[in-house]
């Protein structure tokens, strides 16, 4: 069933859905940005030149009118401001008319950043037929009376509410689009600094763009070494192009984004080119996995090795260079006084280079070393592993661990059961439980040669243990189900069983269900 409104013949368009109807509409506001709309069709082809709406609220507002396809592709939008005290039917002109096909479903909406809207509950149960336009009966080609908190394509509904969104329709072919598209948004903004190395720059245009014109030659990200290889993505709903770098960007580096205009450049769907090339720049922040340079080489290969730079910074050590095991050559090592070696297997040649460097006075910190490096550290074995165990520091006077707590400390991960050779100092011992000692070192220290070189070895992976202690189990990162004993129960409770809305009206786009206790789950609809 549909409610029919008789208006002028279609030939007399411009036409609207609701005409001059003065609705019994209530003003509402939920204290958050909101987009509300109507699902409609035209029985002949034409174009939408404006989005209109009934303003029951009296507050000043700047609103954006939008027209979407039925599946959410944004076809056009316009913005207009309305002064305080203004009420009744208002229009938001569209800069470019939006062509609509006969008997095809579209959605017209208005976005209210301050959350003001007008509504009539159950207003679209039957729909409204006002040829050549029809506001569809709720359930025809989707729900009608739609909204979305935060803005964007409205796809939620409540009680078939009519939010009195409307369109201005003109029959016949739309005027030819001769307007050049423009850049409306840039992310990061021009001149932005401290940008994350993983950022994917994005460009938003004023109208729908021709995807075929968006190529690596017309959307360019470039740095000091030239063009950066990117993967382009175009979101037709938001008219946004994203340039995703194949590799992370370099730290503390200035990059440029260029949208190429003119002949051979990017065009809108009507073939109009961007009038001129639009270029802007941004600068990345520092690389958290790299150091500024200094006498310390941090080899970040191996499991959890990437966390080593952050651990050093947390300890106030910031004069270091990060690198890979490929730097373990006699020539490269000669430039460093200290090497921190992650839990990585080294080749015989690399082990030999480390041995020569330590003998010449270098200082090596090896984290869960392999057997070749362990031999340099004065360790034999291993004879097995000890997982999720404990360690206790030797705190006797004059020992390297003097002043550290004498209690056992738990570590995460696995430790290798090495044995200390004569002349190797045991700084800490592995414990199988908090009170049961083993004969295997957790941390050891050995002097090599006569030039002051030393090797400190942790038989477990120190950055892994620190990371798991501070950040939790990474196996849970992608999991939502947790044991019932630890799963948080997220509810919101009030002193009375009332809806948690802050509307100035008794009508709500979507009140949450309540219970006799006045509690409702926060996972329910907004």
Domain at 204, CATH number: 2.60.40.1220
Does residue 164 sit in the same domain as residue 206? no
* 331/438 same-domain check: yes
CA–CA dist 286, 354 (Å, integer) = 30
HEC secondary structure over 409-457: EECCCEEECCEECCCCEEEEEEECCCCCEEEEEEEEEEEECCCCEEEEE
pLDDT at residue 492, as a whole number: 34
Ranges of the chain with pLDDT below 70? 1-12, 472-526
Pair (252, 328) in one structural domain: no
Domain boundary among 139, 171, 203: 171
Task: Label residue 371 left, alpha or beta by phi (over 0 means left) and psi (-120 to 50 means alpha).
Answer: alpha
Handedness of CA 261, 262, 267, 270 (dihedral sign): positive
Domain co-membership, 33 together with 139 = yes
Indicate whether 38 and 139 sit together in one domain: yes
CATH number, residue 63 = 2.60.120.820
CA distance linking residue 75 with residue 348, whole number of Å: 64
Angle at the Cα of 159 (from 154 to 161), degrees rounded to 5? 60
Q: What angle do CA 130, 98, 263 make, to 5 degrees?
A: 170
290 domain residue, yes or no = no
Q: How many structural domains compose the chain?
A: 3
Identify the domain containing residue 416 by its residue range.
296-468
The residue written with tokens 């989707």 in the block is: 142
Q: Which distant-in-sequence residues (6+ apart) come within 8 Å of 49 by Cβ? A: 14, 93, 94, 97, 168, 169, 170
Which candidate, 183, 189, 252, places its Cα nearest to that of 218? 183
Residue whose tokens read 């990585």: 344
Q: Does 522 map to a domain? A: no
Q: Which residue matches tokens 């990437």? A: 306
Q: Is residue 480 part of a domain?
A: no
pLDDT computed for residue 42 by the predictor: 96
Q: Are residues 364 and 442 in the same domain?
A: yes
User: What separation in angstroms does the CA of 305 have from each of 36, 309, 336, 461?
Assistant: 50, 8, 19, 9
The answer to whether residues 363 and 391 touch, using CB atoms and an 8 Å cutoff, is: no
Q: How many CB atoms lie within 10 A of CB 414?
A: 18
* Residue 516 DSSP symbol: T
Q: What is the predicted pLDDT for the residue at 162?
A: 95
CA 399 to chain centre: 49
Distances (CA, A) of 510 to 145, 150, 161, 515: 11, 14, 10, 16
Q: What is the pLDDT of residue 473?
A: 62
Query: Could you tell me if 272 and 302 lie in one domain?
Result: no
CA 17 to chain CA mean position, Å: 39
Same domain membership, residue 240 and residue 130: no
CA angle, 265 then 269 then 272, to 5°:
50
Which residue, of 264, 284, 304, is where some domain finishes? 284
**Is position 373 within any domain?**
yes
How many angstroms separate the CA atoms of 107 and 165, rounded? Answer: 9
* Rounded Cα gap, residues 470 and 171, in angstroms: 65
Is 484 inside a domain boundary?
Answer: no
Same domain, 359 and 433: yes
Q: Mark whether 269 and 387 lie in a shared domain.
A: no
The set of residues, in sequence order, having a beta carbon less than 8 Å from that of 122 and lying 6+ positions away, is 159, 160, 161
Whether 225 and 348 share a structural domain: no
Give the domain-ending residue among 284, 305, 335: 284
H/E stretch holding 519 reads strand 519-521
User: Based on the number of CB atoms within 10 Å of its own CB, is 6 exposed (0-12), middle (13-18) or buried (19 or more)?
Assistant: exposed
Is 486 a member of any domain? no
**Same-domain pairing of 278 and 350:** no
Would you state the pLDDT for residue 233? Answer: 95
């Amino acid at each position: 069933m549909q409610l029919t409104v008789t208006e002028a013949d279609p030939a007399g368009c411009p036409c609207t859905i609701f005409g001059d109807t003065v609705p019994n509409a209530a003003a509402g506001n939920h204290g958050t940005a909101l987009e509300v709309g109507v699902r409609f069709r035209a029985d002949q082809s034409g174009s939408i030149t404006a989005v209109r709406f009934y303003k029951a609220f009296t507050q000043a507002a700047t609103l954006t009118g939008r027209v979407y396809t039925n599946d959410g592709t944004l076809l056009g939008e316009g913005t207009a401001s309305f002064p305080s005290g203004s009420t009744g039917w208002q229009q938001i002109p569209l800069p470019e008319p939006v062509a609509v096909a006969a008997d095809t479903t579209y959605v017209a909406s208005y976005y209210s950043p301050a959350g003001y809207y007008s509504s009539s509950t159950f207003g679209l149960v039957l729909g409204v037929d006002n040829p050549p336009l029809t506001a569809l009966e709720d359930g025809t080609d989707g729900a009608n009376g739609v909204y979305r908190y935060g803005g964007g394509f409205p796809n939620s509904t409540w009680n078939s509410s009519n939010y009195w969104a409307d369109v201005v329709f003109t029959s016949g072919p739309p005027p030819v689009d001769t307007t050049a598209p423009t850049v409306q948004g840039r992310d990061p903004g021009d001149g932005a600094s401290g940008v994350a190395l993983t950022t994917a720059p994005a460009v938003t245009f004023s109208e729908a763009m021709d995807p075929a014109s968006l190529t690596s030659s017309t959307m360019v990200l470039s740095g000091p070494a030239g063009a950066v290889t990117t993967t382009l993505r175009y979101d037709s709903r938001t008219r946004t192009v994203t340039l995703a770098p194949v590799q992370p960007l370099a730290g503390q580096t200035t990059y440029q984004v260029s949208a190429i205009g003119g002949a051979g450049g990017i065009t809108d769907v009507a073939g109009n080119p961007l009038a001129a090339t639009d270029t802007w720049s941004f600068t990345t922040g520092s690389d958290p996995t790299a150091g500024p340079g200094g006498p310390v080489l941090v080899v970040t290969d191996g499991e959890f090795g990437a966390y080593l730079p952050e651990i050093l910074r947390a300890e106030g050590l910031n004069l270091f260079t990060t690198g890979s095991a490929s730097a373990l050559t006699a020539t490269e090592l000669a430039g460093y006084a200290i090497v921190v070696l992650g839990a990585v297997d080294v080749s015989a040649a690399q082990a030999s280079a480390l041995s020569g460097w330590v003998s010449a006075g270098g200082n090596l910190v090896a984290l869960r070393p392999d057997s070749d490096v362990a031999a340099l550290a004065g360790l034999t074995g291993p004879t097995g592993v000890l997982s999720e165990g404990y360690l206790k520091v030797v705190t006797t006077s004059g020992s390297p661990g003097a002043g550290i707590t004498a209690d056992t400390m738990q570590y995460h991960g696995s430790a290798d059961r090495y044995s200390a050779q004569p002349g190797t100092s045991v700084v800490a011992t592995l414990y199988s439980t908090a009170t049961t000692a083993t004969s295997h070192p957790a941390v050891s220290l050995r002097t090599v040669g006569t030039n002051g070189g030393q090797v400190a070895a942790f038989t477990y992976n120190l950055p892994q243990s620190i990371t798991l202690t501070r950040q939790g189990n990474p196996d849970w990162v992608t999991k939502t189900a947790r044991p019932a004993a630890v799963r948080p129960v997220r509810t919101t409770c009030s002193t009375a069983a009332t809806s948690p809305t802050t509307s100035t009206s008794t009508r709500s786009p979507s009140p949450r269900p309540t219970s006799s206790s006045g509690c409702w789950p926060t996972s329910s609809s907004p």
